[in-house]
Amino acid sequence: MFANRVRKNEKRLRSWRRREGITAYRVYDADMPEYAVAVDCYGDRVQVAEYAAPKGVDPAAAARRLEDLRAALPGALGVPAAHIVYKTRERQRGS
């Protein structure tokens, strides 16, 4: 499901990117609550920023989905797994 969404978004953005010469863009931004990540492409490199899962989502299920995402993303974007960086984003609380 996630790979299909990423492929669809990539295809939709392709002509715009080529026409404008864009090499840095966001291909996915937590469109589906099950996959709380943002996927940014920078040339042939990809950054995946994982957000904290919504309260209604089981943390174990979110971890399984993240592993599925790690397996599916290289094929969906056509980049080597070594070119994908994973980061975790957490909400910062003020003092």
Say what the pLDDT of residue 19 is. 96
Measured CA to CA, the distance from residue 27 to residue 70 in angstroms comes to 15
In a domain, 94, yes or no: no
Domain, as residue range, for 58? 2-88
In a domain, 93, yes or no: no
CB 75 within 8 A of CB 91: no
Entry pTM: 0.85
CATH of the domain at 78: 3.30.750.80
pLDDT means over runs of 10, the chain (95 residues):
91 94 94 87 95 78 88 93 91 73
| Adjacent-strand bridge partners of 49 | 38, 87
